Amino acid sequence: MNTMDFSAFDFSNRHVFVAGGSSGINFGIAQAFARAGAKLTVISRSADKVASAARQLEALGTQALGLSADVRQPQALEQAFATATERFGPIDVLVSGAAGNFLASALDMSPNAFKTVVDIDLLGSFNVARIAHAHLRKPGSCVIQISAGQAFIPTPFQAHVCAAKAGVDMLTQVLALEWGAQGVRINSIVPGPIADTEGLKRLAPTGDTLDAMANRVPLKRLGRIDDIARMALLLASDWGSYITGAIIPVDGGFALTGPRDFTAAAAASKRAHA
Ligand code: HXC
Ligand code: NAP
């Protein structure tokens, strides 16, 4: 390969499967792959959301399938992967980003509240990767996990997400070791605070908290969904062919600024939940 060959970003006839792909960052990644020619499968819990996502992806001129499945339910995932690969063939790129979050102190979190986020983010990522494995193109496929800075920055009001995403990044590294010889690469992208997303809305619910967050980012702006999508394309392309087991922040330097203070946002969120 010519190392400056931009055809590396042509994903025509490749199958990209996005778990949690019906909205936000993950949907933006799906759109970027669709624009690059890939055939897309997106899954999430809501049948309406996946149907709408598939329609929007097809409007970009490619084929797309939207399937309702909860990453906490292995049988539903088995069915989704079987249906998707029957339609589009083996999976070239798996993006795994289903997640849930809310602000609550550990003492305000019931065991089920903690378990719910661990089940979606961590056990769900394990389920997706483990069940996808039989359907991945080998050699030559790429798995991209969507993590968060909470994985390595201890963050008050985020005990569940910190524990879950730390596990996701460790899973990335273990699977890189176990699957490398089969020609399957796996990496984590760690997005910073990304504008116009559900995740950021939950952590910075007011204009003031949003401005404070943006100002704290060394590059002095919130991230854009496209910032994350570009890294996903790079990792999946031949340009990323020697990258595996990496935990890659795409965050304008945000992770360097240490633990966040969500005290005010958590108080507002607690009132809303009560
Ligand atoms: C305390 C809460 C709570 C809150 C829910 N719970 N919200 N506890 N404070 N604000 C508790 C419930 O009371 C219940 O415990 C348990 O959590 C499960 O709640 P359910 O509503 O039954 O769960 P479920 O329907 O499975 O929904 C999961 C969810 C929900 C995570 C709670 O918010 C969701 O579906 N989220 C998906 C969208 C999302 O969160 N997107 C953001 C991703 S961003 P009990 O004991 O009462 O049974 C992200 C972080 C990245 O992941 C960082 C961003 C910068
Ligand atoms: P989002 O729009 O809420 O995306 C979450 C997606 O996961 C949705 O499509 C949701 O659809 C799906 N989902 C949730 N629970 C699921 C389950 N049990 N099974 C299957 N699908 C499920 O949030 P976002 O902010 O874009 O976050 C996307 C990813 O980026 C997450 O992994 C998040 O942790 C990470 N991240 C976000 C930010 C940020 O600033 N937003 C920062 C760092 C990391 P359904 O409701 O239909 O299930």
> What number of CA atoms fall less than 13 Å from residue 202's CA on the CB side?
15
**Ligand 1 environment, Cβ below 6 A:** 99-102, 104, 108-110, 112-113, 116-117, 148, 161, 193, 198-200, 202-203, 269, 273
* Residue type (1 letter), 163: A
Q: Is 247 helix (H, G, I), strand (E, B) or coil?
A: strand
pLDDT digits (tens, 9 = 90+) for 48-85: 999 999 999 999 999 999 999 999 999 999 999 999 99
Strand boundaries in 174-228, DSSP class E? 184-191
Atom of ligand 2 lying closest to residue 146 CA: 32
Overall residue count recorded for the chain in this entry:
274
Measured from the Cβ of residue 61, the count of other Cβ atoms closer than 10 Å reads 9
Ligand 2 mean position, distance from CA 25 (Å)? 7
Residue 10 CA, chain-centre distance (Å), reads 21
What is the set of domains in the chain, with CATH numbers? 15-272 (3.40.50.720)
Tokens describing residue 101: 């979050």
Atom of ligand 1 lying closest to residue 100 CA: 40
Q: Is the pLDDT of residue 4 over 80?
A: no
pLDDT digits (tens, 9 = 90+) for 117-159: 999 999 999 999 999 999 999 999 999 999 999 999 999 999 9
d(CA 176, CA 248): 14
0.95 cut: is pTM over it?
A: yes
Residue 148 CA, chain-centre distance (Å), reads 9
Among 6-20, 226-240, 251-265, the minimum mean pLDDT is found in 251-265
Residue 72 CA, chain-centre distance (Å), reads 16
